[in-house]
Amino acid sequence: MGTTAVAATRALAQRAAAAGAEWLDAPVSGGTVAAEAAVLTIMAGGSEAAFARALPVLQAMGRRITHVGASGAGQIAKSANQVIVALTIGAVAEALALARAAGADPAKVRDAIRGGFAESRILDLHGGRMVTGDFTPGGRVTTQVKDLRQAEELAQQSGIDLPTLGLSLELFEMLVEQGDGALDHSALYRLFAR
């Protein structure tokens, strides 16, 4: 249920099959809060039979459970999730830093734009962390870097260029270099607000 590179996941699935076992990759999204409330989003990759057998266990942990496809497909969905999360954190961080630099209260700007097209869970949760400066880790910067590196590797293996992903990875790596790797990934705001 961890976030693992697609190639490694598929290799493990082949080893499991060779031993007569079934493999199901089932990474999650939702963070600690969703895990504690058993409302994780779970993205599964593997055979229909493996998914059906594991479904009761997955239902004990998650609310939205999707069988995405064959082995590795769960990890592909998780990579897509992490790209969206990272880029959206970057967008919120830049927008709130712009508000601050231009002379407006970032908390009030955040409140003003919530409910419009910019509304998102990231604007709500991570934007709140940015305006309060509370970067107690939920999803750590170092984990975001690992996940983005895996997504970039998957993009290269898939023959697609994702320049915004590359820039996002560089920004999170800068945060690690500054010594902020153990903070929540919403701490990306610190790069722009200093």
Report, as residue numbers or ranges, the catalytic residues.
78
- Taking CA 41 as the corner, what is the angle to CA 122 and CA 36, rounded to the nearest 5 degrees? 85
Name beta bridge partners: 30: none
Look at residues 4, 41, 37, 36 and name the one whose alpha carbon lies nearest to residue 23: 4
Helix H or strand E encompassing 35: helix 31-36
According to DSSP H, which parts of 40-193 are helical? 48-59, 73-101, 106-113, 121-132, 141-157, 163-177, 189-193
Tokens of 79: 């990579």
Helix H or strand E encompassing 7: helix 6-18
End-to-end CA distance of the chain: 37
